[in-house]
Each structure stands twice: as structure tokens, then as C-alpha cells.
Structure 1
């Protein structure tokens, strides 16, 4: 039975259907509006700044016709398809209202030609598509991405009702996850491209069969080299799946230009100002986690970068493809390559992108640079200065060349939370006075199809491509004429279709000789798709004058044994072109043992004087690489280039260790600390040479962090005084806490207790403060001796009680509290700790015992209208937030950084994240419950899991803690945030939010 069609003509839409656009309010006029007026449809356009006065932004659709759009596509009739997410993350936020019948796929249509949607059709509704993150219209098939599945709906008769639904892919990460499967796109090469974020985990066919790579390995996050977010392509029917890139965090969509090149955004670990745009080079590793150990980017390593954004993507590591553009703070979403003609020439052929975090639509003009690119940033739409509820979730090109923007419209931006379930908008961006008109496409004649295949709308492009491919030889002459076009991108579109003809390889050979390097790039890519077997083709192309073309040749031979091609490519490498170097590494991945020796033999005995040869050795992974790195280190004046030491981490562990010991034996005195840090060491079977060196060297180490690393690693017990000096220093609380933990593990609590009993009260309190941060049951029991001592000074007792913070300490404190063993004079401090604990079980029990001291019925409208005291808010942030968050250089790197939180969350979202922390947990910051085989249990954030270790961050600690997987019984995720509901009055909450609002602005 056909679903009902909803035709809506609301007053708000009528307001915007006038022939003459209403001028945007001035900044002063907009500021004078009430919040309710600002959020209304009537003032939707007033809240967004348009940076180009040649363009015009109009409202195509809004609530109540649609709400919460997560993704969008536009079909060949100009109709806008929307996936809604009213039921967003309902399994995590059961308090949210839900639609029991599930979320909807809508078709929004302008039937009267006024440029506004007046008809809404429900194509499908069901709980199986709750919070879908991707939709793509390919003829009569609709691809809908909603982890763990990709559904394909088929509308056989064109009545806008699906006649069939099948699962194309499955097994993609967690149910309804933001970092799971994203949208599909059709590319001019005839393939579908898609991606998933770092919750994707793996890809399976619809029947559950794992998808394998060319070497027969399953594509999942546990199979080297694959990990984290990935990029794929396949044929339109879902066959011939290929993995094309990996190690992203949350690569939300992928866009493909007419030459077959991929462009993509990627989100950072929230709050770390490391969001990026990438050119995706085939088979590239993009550096979110350590390639070898899968360790978190915060893990200290040799040659670690200076800036957070470089650390975040491991950009100093061999084997990591560079970033194109850093966009810093953000929550990137939809992306496209605009190949239309309607927008001004500056926009044509550029990447256009939606970033919901800072409320912007941007463009990223690029230029070639060697084998890679450089890029810049140009804003197009900006809601941050006016309406920071503007949350662009997608950008799509319509058949007329205009750009449509879907707007999630919410005080926050995903992250498991939604602040508004009733709003959502779609805008159209076009030159002024450009009316939205779409003609019915003619897919019958070759002449019409040639026009249609040049259309920037992918739905039209797809249908025209398929029709021309079906016509085959009948379309050959027209395609050859299009191939002669002066428009390089349309020439490329013709080329891809010509390459599908029975004699397609002839066109590939012709394109390979074209004067346009981009056409030659397409030719090399097409040779892979066509599986050409011409032995001389790639060898010839390896000598191309363009590094862009040679890059494509390099990635084309990844799975082939092509020593002559690789050598020719390596001969033309120039030091400094990191893109080219990584392409050579991708090509040599499985053949370093044969490729590298041949290259060095040709380079001659003086190869170590060549910057190019040294770069290639640094990037290489051959059995001889450790020995070669050793030669390079010894050839330099000590201390050596740290990148050569870091390169050893990517070699065989035994060979790496032997190389490091060789360097010690050969007098690399200046590098001894580096070698001690880097060498593998087992305290149960200690290497005598390394241990003796650590003992001899530790006292000379000037850098405190190096010193702590060495003392901890080698369990050195002769550095008590230096350790204590770090414990008591005031400049770096993180190091002081780490030193306190190391001290207690090495020497026990006897000396700590003695210091806490110092006759000098000031020194005693200092010891309590400095060592009390160690969070374990033993320290908690020691502290209890002091606060339970009725004869001790109140200042001593107070300090001891105030240090009863931390997961284990709070557990011990509760054991005293539940049997009423806390002195009355210290009970208010204990209550505050217990009722603000990150341990939700204890927090609930304490609240039941003592009664809630928190205002659980905040007057939200009152809070929104109030202005707070920023200085008081800063004090509150220091007391509450910096215990687990970084704000600039202050605080602890545990939860997401708050340095630019005011640019990401509105006032409403900030309030909600504080009073309802479990509703807005950032991905990667969820609480994990780790149970050990000995019965111990911790709650933590899991940074990474290697083959042998679990690397976690404990509450309130910036340092990572490592546990052996062999000691762990289970790891389960909690739906309860580690962040407590702080006992704040309404006035305090307003002050705190007022301070946070200004961060980043």
C-alpha cells in the first residue's frame, strides 16, 4: 500500500516564498531579537552570514516539514532526499522522546516552481534506519547507511515506495554510531566510493561473509595494516570491494573528482584543534593511531612532534601520508567537489565542505605541489557570529548547479546528544536571481546523454553514465567528441566511459599521452580498474614528467612485483616531497627486501651522502633497514637525527634492539638516553647491559620527563632525591603526580607516611597534597589514618580528606561513609567528594544516604536569559573542569579539551552537557569498565589496545597507565559518563557557562 504524501504549506514557508528576497537583518537588529525569535524559521536566514555578495541563500525547507537531517541527496528531478534522526542515539539517551515507528526517509519537492519545498513524501519509515548517516540515490536504488548495515531500497515502478530492501553490507561497528558507516557517492570512473569512521571495525557482505583484500586478509581493524576509519570503493552492485585508505578517526564522507582523486575531511579527538582535510592517496595510512602498536597519539615517542595537530596524526612517522589542510577545531560532515558552472568561477572545481562544529560551510582551493597538494581555506557560510545553532550536516549539488545545505539545527553537534528534536532546515546557495528550475532529463538519445553526463548532480551523472555505458559503440563517436573538450574535467568524464568500451585500453593509451597531467593521472587509475596487462605501460608512465602521474604509478604497483618500475620511480624522487616518498613506500610495502638493495646498489657506495637515499631508508621496512639506519646514525655527529631512531620502531623488534645495543657499543654517548627510552626491556628477564647503563645514566638526565620514563621503565631505586624533587615541584602538576606514583611503587608507603607526619605542619600538608594524588586503596587507607586522627591539627585532617579523590580512593571513602565512620567536622568535605564522584554507583548511594545537595530542577529558561560573572566562572572551571580537561595550558588531558568549546557548543548545549553529562559523551571518551582476574575493577578511558597491553587514562590523570591484557578478564562500555553531575547552584552554573562560552572566541 502506498504511503501517504504529506503536503505542507506553513505560514513560515509562505513568508519566504516572496518574489523579492527580504534583506538580512543587521547585526544590531539580529542581536535585539529574543532567543525564541532567533530560532524561528522566520529568521533562519538572518542567522547565517553569506561571505559572497554575488550569491544568495534561500530557505528550501524547514520544520515542521522535516526535522533533524543527518544527510541529504538530490535526485535527477531536483527533489531533496533526507535522512532524519529524531531517534538519535536512543539506546544511550533513553530519556529522549522517540518515535516508536522509527525514523524517516523523506523526499522534499518544489511542485509550484517558487524555489521552496511544498510537498513532503515519506519514502520509508522504520526503526531499522534510526539515525541513518548516509543516503545516495542511484537510479531506482537508494543506498542508506546506518551502522551496522548498508541497506539498498529498490523502487521498481517509480511510485516513491520501496518494493524491495536488501542488506548490501553489514557488520560495521556499533549500532547507530556516528563513527560508523557514512554515505556513498558515485564517481566518474563508474565506481561507488564510501567510508566509515573508527567505530566501523570491519566490513562484511550482506550475508555476513568477511570482505578480503587482494592478499586474502579480512578487512577489519584487527588485521594489519588496517585500523580505525577506512575508505572503500566498489562496483554499483556492491561487488569488487577495494580498501583504499585507513587510520582515520571519523572521516565523515568522501568526495571524488572527475580524475578519480579522493578528498575527505577527518575529525580529531574532540577539543584538540586537529581537524583536517585530506587528499586520499590510495592505500595510504593516515596516522590516527600508531601503525605498529596501535597506541594512542598521546603516547610519548621518539621524535614526537611539537604541535598537537602534528602529534595527533603521527606526521613525523615513516608511513604516514601528509595532511592537506588543518581546519583545527571542528566537527566535519558532508563534502563535495563542485564541478558545476552555476556558481562563480572561484567555486568551480573546488572542494566544498560542511563543518557543523564551528557552524560553517567552507571551500578549500588546492594547487599541485610535487606529488601532492597545498590547500587554503575560504569561508562561504558562517553561523558562528550570529546563530550557532546552524549545524550544516551535508552539502549536495542540484541538477541546476546550485548547492544545497542541510542543517541539523541544534545547540550541540552530535556526540551522542541532541538538544532540539523539532527543527531542521535545508538551504539553497546560488547566484542572485537564479531561480530553481529542473527539467525532466532525457536518457534516451545519445545527444542528450552527453549533456547529462556533464551534469554536476551525481544522480543525473550516474543515470547518464549507465545509459551511455549500455549504448556502448553507439555512443562512441559522441564520447570521442566530448573527449576533445577544452574542459579538462568533462574530457575526463568522456574518457572514463570510453575506457569501458571493448577497446577501452586503446583510449587509456591515448589518455596516457595527453598533454594534461590530470588526464594522464586518470589514465593510470583506469589501467588498474581495467586490469591492463601491458608490461610496458607502467614502466613508460614511471618516466612521466609529472610527479602527480608518477604517484599514481607507484600506488598502482602495490600488489605487483615491478622492480624496474619502482626503481625508475625512485630515481626521480627529490628529497622533500613527502607525498612522493609515501607513494614509493606504498608501492614497496611487500617487496622492500628486493627493491631497497637494488636501489642502494645503483646509488653506489656513497649512498649515505644522498638525501634521497637516506629518505628512502628512513621510510623502508626491509630486513636490512635497521643496519642501514645504524650506519646513518653513526655517520652523523651525535646526537643523531631523531627521525632515524624513530624509524627503528617500525622494524623487527629483535633487529631494532640489536641495532640499539650496537650503537651503544660504538660510542653513541650523546644518544644513550634515547636508546634507553627506545629499547625493549623486560624487568622479569632484564638485559644486564641496558640495566647497568640506565643505572649509570639516570643521574645525568636533564629532562624530567625522560628521567621519569627511564626510572619507571628500569625500576631504578637509587634516584630517590631526584624523584622527590619532581614530586614537590610546582611547575608541572602532571609530572609531579607521575613522580609520586613512581616513588610509591618503588619505595612503598613507609617513607611517604613519615613525610606526612613531619613535625613541620607546612611540610606535612605538602606531603599529603603531593602524594595524596596517588589513587589506590593503600594510599586511601594511609590518608584515612590522618583524617581519622582526632588529635591531629584540623588543617592536616582537612588536607587528608580533600585528597580522598579518585576512583579507588572514593571507593575506600565510601566504605567509611556507609558505616558512619567519617568525623562530623569533615563530613561536608566527604559528602561533596562522594556526591561529585565519577563513580556513578557511589554517587547514587551517597545521594540516597545524604540527600541530594544538587539542584536537579534547574530553571533552564532562566539560566539561558541570565548573564554570569566570567571571573567567578573561571574559578569554578579551575575547581571542577581542569581536574580532567585541558583549558589552554592548564588542566589535565583526560576528557576532551575545552580550549575552544565556546566555538563548538551553544549556551544551551553547554548547560546540558554539565547537568546531563551522559547525554553528550564524545566518542573515544566513553567510560569503560575494566575487570581484572584478581577481582579489581576500574573505570577509565581506553586510549588503545595493543597485542599485549591495554593503555588507559584514569580519572583525573593526564598520564597513561598500561595494564597487561593477560591480567584482564573483561572490558565493557558504560552508558554512564565518567563526568559527574557537579553540585552547582544556578548562579554557579551560569557563571561557569559564561566563562566556557568565551573559550575559543
Structure 2
């Protein structure tokens, strides 16, 4: 057995929290199946009863079917067929089912004969079932047709999407243009044969200063475009790349105006870092770029070459999305979009308000566990997966994923307001949306009328119109509009046109472009246009090369007086540019700003970027001040108030993301590598004291005596004893002596190698939590899987990939160590995913049965001593 000291991660891979799609539980290897298939005893599992859920006044939620896990699986996707029956798909190797609903009850359940699995996209259109799934031809889009009403479907392969699992092929929706829209996660490669008139093009990473990959290696080596939406016809013949820059959007829906909206995920390992982006509701216009980049590289929403969210929601794990069309609800809820959060069990009703050619949005909890807002209520999991409006006007939703117990629920309206079909279209903003669509018609193709048509809108105060106009301009030959861009007098139009020129113009145009920028001194511009000008400079240098010394000196003279300023956004952008240009005195100014910063994220932003400032720009005292931040108690700083609100909305306290300590390690490693030998020697005493991974110490004595090699059948019959009278201190002790605390955060304590367990009970029932402790390899979450590398020389290395370049990879065998092994790619013979959990088995074998029950209560309560579980 592996040493317990190696990342004793108590819920290992089952409970990957947050934005990772929770729907692709992995099968264990044959060598694990004996353990994984042991029959468990105890009470029969049931989906969370409706009495534990809260909905809005005058609405009613009912549980109408609980899945038989053995025969019906755990459900991850749902659609409605031409007869109004509900089709649900299960995880890998699980069946696809069809439910007939009569009078609000399930009258029939059929297993469909379809040779497809792991379907995360289902759509009924053109008298066919379209499925985005794994099938005979691999992952991709399949068209399925039923023979009569037999439940047996023929399958036709339409388009391959190379990628699988949690960040692979996802949802399908039918657009008002009768085209099929497909959204795929950020680990999915673009399909072959993209149409030349695709609106989304010219994408690159576009970082002024070097990016670092995720501290734990997630998505290392994955570059733009990130998650994307393509559009295709009924036969999958023509396929266009419409927009991109998502992280891992799982689903999307059109509103009553025919506009597309998606619910994008966060990267919860980024919590506490300046590049963290919350789960967001996005208006998906043609050609849009939403700026996901791997690791530290995520773009801020104010970049003019990207688009902002309609609303930031907070922390969570977005899953299903649908609209209220056909619902027998009041008009407000017919017009709403419904978006699901798997992690915290929130089914959100989203209300859109037109703003120019786009929208802003608000949201409310439509259905959620009572315990989300009442800490004294029993915690019951509601891992929401998908939703659809039935032919009877009810809203149906499912729970499941990661082998969770699944259930089918029905929401109806019982109040007195009219439920007659409402007019779903908005008259507000109609003219602006029409204009944007006219501009979008010029995207992706050359048209002699394009430049004159779109040019007036480059200065539009409507960001979505302005953005659309620039995308259309970039599709036209540069020679037709470069002179116009270089001589434009309107600041907004000029900066937008010059942004386009920086993105698609030849490097030899850079001197003219930079000269044109001089017509708009940054001190004379509004804050928004200041950010725009800074981004034009960035892109000119990123895509066309570093400027000559004389030009750099002039830019420094123009920008330096702006830093620092009262604007956090301007501070970040001016600091980056001045560091890039190696501006004299920039170390002094940045360190002073760090010393006076209110928010942790601002200090970390400067700490990260200042690592690239070259020797010759530092004094030794400045070096010492900089490295002293690696000893900082980060809890002494505040967070942006919105960050605190997002955690409160999810019914939990704040905690750092899983990659937080490793990000700091990587900052430190790179900062040290940039020291001169003489500097390193003088700083050696300080550098030896730095420890960015220290965790709290505890007085519990380590245990070495095995009580019993536990199986599920030992504990399952006793799970009801967790309900009351547990011992909080014993639960905490079990969490520590089992070494769980080294890898997992619970509340504000613990490590961050494994998933955050603070809200585990909102996603998993008690049995699932126990199963992940006793049988850690039974269900593996992809983001915590190791890779196994075998070299041509016979050397085997197992660990996380923390860097991936065209020439080599870096593997971190021990997540608690900064050590890494670099392997040249031409020396790799085998590279495969390890199906063995990094978490060892038998971690609780040193505990008594009562202590295991106390541990379950400790986890289920989120380490809350006042929980009812600890009351007599």
C-alpha cells in the first residue's frame, strides 16, 4: 500500500468541486473492480425529497421518479422528443431512458437501444434525435432515427469532436435559423473542415507578460480558442466556428428574441487569485470572444477584444440551461431562462433586460435546498444536471452526475396569475439588435460594402455593436481600411480600428500604428478609452514585436504619470505595460502600491507580474521586500466585496482555491530564476525561510495501529447514526489523523491539493461520501487524475502534468512537493491516464466505526460545531 503520508485525500476524486463538469465518472481498472463491485448493504438510496427543497411562492416542486442506480444509472442530460416524452442520458456505459408523463406522473420508462454513451448533448430536431456523445466513430455528433416506436434507433455519424470527458463535447440546441448549435468544452479540439466564412477567427493567447499554467497542472498546454460554439446544418455538412473563449460551458438556450445565452464555468482552483472569473451568464453573439485562457492567462472583462457577461453569478458549477417557452407560468417566468448549478443545487431563474443591442441580467433562486439559506435545516444534495419545459407546461429537472443518486422533478405554478402564453419578444432594443445582425452579416467574408457600413459603428457607445463592427472590419482586406484607421480623428473609432490593425496587420505597419496612437494622449482620454489604448499598445507589441528603444521611452513617459491611480483596472494595465517596457523606477512604484493595497487579489497581481522585471531594475532592499511577501499571512487582507457575496450566496464561507499554494510556489520559483548569481547569494538566508505551503499544526498523535480493513458493508447499515449526537472533536481528529487535512480544505483549514470539501453535502449524499472514502478509485474525477508516463528507456513516472510544451512535459509526482520531472516528448513511449486514485485506500482503517461516523458528520456539517448533527 502506498504511504498514507502521500496526499491522503479524503474524497479524492469523486468530489471535484465547482466548475468541472461533474458528468463523466471514470470506470475503475479491472484490478479495482473486485473492490468497486462489492455489494453494499443498508437503506435503499432515494433522490432528495421535495420537502427539503424551497421554491418561489405559488410554485410547487415534486419528485416524480427516483432512479434505480443499478439499472437506470445517474443522469447527466435531458431533452424532449417530438411526442413530448423526456429522454435522459446516463454516464459512461449507462443507458439512455425515455419517460412518458401522464397527468404529472411517470407512466412509462423505456430503455432505448442506441449504441451511444456519455451523451452530454441531446436535441430532438428534424424528426431525429441528435446526440453529442461517444459512439462507434468516437466522440462527436450523431443523428439517430427510431424504427417506428420500437425504442431501437439507427445511428449516423455526422461530425467528429476530438476530446472527451468533462471538458469535451457538450450541449446541442436548435436555433431560430433552423441550424444546430453545438457547444464544446475547452479540452475539445476544433473540428476539421470549418467553413471559411466562420465569424470567429484571428484568435491568439495575447498575453503581454508571460503566463504560468495552473498551479496544479490543469489544462496545461491548452491554448485558444478554449471552449467554443459551432453551427451546423441538419446533415452536419457545413460547420462554422461562431464564437469562443469559454472555459467549460455545458449548455445554452435562446431567449424570446432569438438571442443565444450560455452559462460558463469558473475555475474554482483560482479562488483568491486576481484572474479568478466567476460563473457567468454570457450573451453569445456572432464572433464573440470571452477570453478564457489557461492558467494565469484569463482575460479581464474590460479588454476591448472580448465581451463582458450579462451578469456574474458567483461560485458554482453550471450545468443545464433552458428557456421558459411553453411553461404554464406567469409571463415573467415564461420569459425567463433557467440555469442550473450542480455544486450548490441552485436552479436559477434569469431575467434579461435589453441594453442597447445586448442585455443585462438578474437572477433568483427558483428551486434550491432549504439548507442553502437555513443552516439549521438538514443538508440534502441537489446536484442539478438538466431541465426542460414539458408539453404539459411544467418545468422538469434532473439531478445526478458523478454516480450521484438521480431523480426527476416537476415544477408547476399553483397561483392565481395568468399563465396564458405571453409575448416573449422584447420591443426594447429591437432596432439595436437588428442593426447588430446587419453588421454581423459582414463577418467572416469579404464584401465591398462592409467597410463603409461598419465604420460609423466603431465609435458606438454600445460595446456589442462596436465589437461586432470590428470583427466585420477584420474580415476585410487590410489594404482597404488601414489608411482610414491610421488617419481617423474620433478617439473611440480610431482606437477600435487600430485594435483591429494590431490584430490582423503586418508587423511592418507597427511604426505607423504607434505614430497614429500619439494623436490621442492617454491623459486626455476617458477611463474606458485609456484601457482601450493600453490594450492596443499591448496587442501591437504582442503580435508585431517589441518596440524600438526610442519609441518605448516615449510610451513610458506618457504612461508613467498614470500609475498609480484610483482605478484598480488602470493600475493593473499600466503596471503590466511599464514592467514590460522595463520602466525606470517601476519596482519602487509597484512595491509601494502593494504595501497600500486593500485587497489580496491586487497584491497577488503585482507579485505575479513583478517577477518578470529584469535585474538592473531592482535594489537589494527592493528584492528583500518583494520576497518577504512569500511569508505573508494572506488572511490579513480583505477580498473584493463581490467575492464575499458570491460565497455567501452559495451558503458557504470563503476559502482559497486548490491551486493557491502551488501558484505561489511557481511565482517564487520563477522570481528566483530571474536573480543574478550575486543576488541569489546575498538573498540565500531569506530564501531558505520561505515556505508557501505551511498548514496549521495539530496536537493529535499519529496512529499506526489498524483497527479494521473497512468495507462499505461495515459502515452502510450505521449511516443513520450520523443524524444526531455525533462528536465534533472526534470528527476533527479523524480528519487530521487520516491526513485528510494535508490535501483538502474544509472551511478555512487544510491543504489545497485535493478538492475543497466545504460544501460536499450539497453535492453528495452520505453513502456517496462514504463510498469515496472506502473505495477511492471507484469514481475518478478527471481534474484529479494522474498521468502515467513510460519512457523508451523503461522509466515510469506517475503524477500530474504541470507543464506541456511542444518539446517536453513536466510531471509533478508528489502534489505536496515542488519537485518536478521533465521528460522530452521524443523519449515518451506510453502516455496514458492513470485510473488509480492518487488517494490511497484504507485511510480510515486506523479509526473506530464511531470515529468514521463522526468524520462523516464533520464533513457533512462543513466543520460547523453548531450543526444539528452534533446535538443530542
The TM-score, its normalising length taken from structure 1, stands at 0.61
User: Using a 3 Å threshold, how does the CA distance of structure 1 residues 582 and 852 change in structure 2: closer, same or farther?
Assistant: farther
Secondary structure at 1:188 match in 2:
coil
* 1:312-391 matches, cutoff 5 A: 321-340=307-326, 342-367=328-353, 374-383=360-369, 385=371, 388-391=380-383
Partner of 2:735: 877
* 1:422-821 matches, cutoff 5 A: 423-431=406-414, 488=425, 516-526=431-441, 528=443, 534-535=449-450, 536-539=452-455, 541-542=457-458, 546-561=462-477, 563=481, 571=490, 573=492, 589-591=503-505, 597=512, 601=516, 604=519, 606-607=521-522, 609-610=524-525, 611-620=527-536, 621-623=539-541, 626-627=546-547, 631-634=554-557, 635-637=559-561, 660-661=581-582, 663-664=583-584, 670=589, 690=615, 698-699=623-624, 701=626, 703-705=628-630, 709-714=670-675, 716=677, 723-724=684-685, 727=688, 734=693
Cα-Cα RMSD = 5.2
Q: Measure the CA separation in 2 of the matches of 1:381 and 1:903.
A: 14
Secondary structure at 1:183 match in 2:
strand
Q: Measure the CA separation in 1 of the matches of 2:203 and 2:462.
A: 35
Choose the corresponding residue for 2:106, options 113, 117, 126: 117
Secondary structure at 2:167 match in 1:
coil
Contact 1:219 1:226 in 2 (8 A): yes
Q: Measure the CA separation in 1 of the matches of 2:200 and 2:463.
A: 28
> Which string of whole-angstrom CA distances, capped at 9 and with x for unpartnered residues, describes residues 662-699 of structure 1?
x35x8875569999986999xxxxx9x83896878634
Question: Unaligned regions of 5+ residues in structure 1, if any?
Answer: 1-34, 90-101, 291-295, 302-311, 438-454, 457-485, 493-513, 575-579, 682-686, 738-768, 770-798, 803-827, 833-850
Contact 2:85 2:99 in 1 (8 A): yes
Choose the corresponding residue for 1:398, options 366, 385, 390: 390
User: Using a 3 Å threshold, how does the CA distance of structure 1 residues 200 and 853 change in structure 2: closer, same or farther?
Assistant: same
User: Using a 3 Å threshold, how does the CA distance of structure 1 residues 260 and 419 change in structure 2: closer, same or farther?
Assistant: closer
Corresponding position: 1:939 with 2:798: yes
Corresponding position: 1:56 with 2:60: yes
User: Using a 3 Å threshold, how does the CA distance of structure 1 residues 991 and 735 change in structure 2: closer, same or farther?
Assistant: closer
Corresponding position: 1:988 with 2:871: no
Question: Unaligned regions of 5+ residues in structure 2, if any?
Answer: 1-40, 206-218, 272-276, 372-377, 593-604, 631-666, 865-872
User: Using a 3 Å threshold, how does the CA distance of structure 1 residues 671 and 921 change in structure 2: closer, same or farther?
Assistant: same
What is the CA-CA distance between 1:976 and the residue it aligns to?
A: 0.7
What is the CA-CA distance between 1:616 and the residue it aligns to?
A: 2.5
Secondary structure at 2:171 match in 1:
coil
Secondary structure at 2:262 match in 1:
strand
Corresponding position: 1:241 with 2:155: no
What is the CA-CA distance between 1:394 and the residue it aligns to?
A: 0.9
> Which string of whole-angstrom CA distances, capped at 9 and with x for unpartnered residues, describes residues 500-532 of structure 1?
xxxxxxxxxxxxxx9632333344345659987
Contact 2:444 2:472 in 1 (8 A): no
> Which string of whole-angstrom CA distances, capped at 9 and with x for unpartnered residues, describes residues 57-76 of structure 1?
34555546965332211234
Q: Measure the CA separation in 2 of the matches of 1:394 and 1:348.
A: 17
> Which string of whole-angstrom CA distances, capped at 9 and with x for unpartnered residues, describes residues 386-435 of structure 1?
67343332111234544222333xxxx42xxx154xx5324243445999
Contact 1:952 1:962 in 2 (8 A): yes
What is the CA-CA distance between 1:874 and the residue it aligns to?
A: 2.2
Q: Measure the CA separation in 1 of the matches of 2:67 and 2:220.
A: 43
Q: Which has the larger radius of gyration?
A: 1
What is the CA-CA distance between 1:106 and the residue it aligns to?
A: 3.4
Q: Measure the CA separation in 1 of the matches of 2:304 and 2:368.
A: 37
What is the CA-CA distance between 1:630 and the residue it aligns to?
A: 5.9
Q: Measure the CA separation in 1 of the matches of 2:254 and 2:325.
A: 11
> Which string of whole-angstrom CA distances, capped at 9 and with x for unpartnered residues, describes residues 26-61 of structure 1?
xxxxxxxxx9999658x84333322232x2334555
What is the CA-CA distance between 1:184 and the residue it aligns to?
A: 0.8
What is the CA-CA distance between 1:711 and the residue it aligns to?
A: 2.9
What is the CA-CA distance between 1:378 and the residue it aligns to?
A: 0.2
Choose the corresponding residue for 1:191, options 173, 179, 186: 179
Q: Which shows bigger deviation, 211-220 or 894-903? A: 211-220
Secondary structure at 1:520 match in 2:
helix
Secondary structure at 2:800 match in 1:
strand
What is the CA-CA distance between 1:379 and the residue it aligns to?
A: 0.5
Q: Measure the CA separation in 1 of the matches of 2:418 and 2:354.
A: 35
Q: Measure the CA separation in 2 of the matches of 1:613 and 1:919.
A: 54
* 1:12-91 matches, cutoff 5 A: 44-53=49-58, 55-59=59-63, 61-63=65-67, 68-83=74-89, 85=90, 88-89=91-92
Secondary structure at 2:344 match in 1:
coil
The structure richer in helix per residue is: 1
> Which string of whole-angstrom CA distances, capped at 9 and with x for unpartnered residues, describes residues 179-223 of structure 1?
221121011133221112233234247xxx999967999999999
User: Using a 3 Å threshold, how does the CA distance of structure 1 residues 582 and 57 change in structure 2: closer, same or farther?
Assistant: farther
What is the CA-CA distance between 1:352 and the residue it aligns to?
A: 0.9
Contact 1:953 1:960 in 2 (8 A): yes
Q: Measure the CA separation in 1 of the matches of 2:125 and 2:442.
A: 25
Secondary structure at 1:131 match in 2:
strand
Partner of 1:809: none
Partner of 1:277: 280
User: Using a 3 Å threshold, how does the CA distance of structure 1 residues 212 and 855 change in structure 2: closer, same or farther?
Assistant: farther
Partner of 2:715: 859
Choose the corresponding residue for 2:745, options 883, 886, 892: 886
Secondary structure at 2:742 match in 1:
coil
User: Using a 3 Å threshold, how does the CA distance of structure 1 residues 104 and 37 change in structure 2: closer, same or farther?
Assistant: closer
Q: Measure the CA separation in 1 of the matches of 2:425 and 2:414.
A: 24
User: Using a 3 Å threshold, how does the CA distance of structure 1 residues 342 and 517 change in structure 2: closer, same or farther?
Assistant: farther
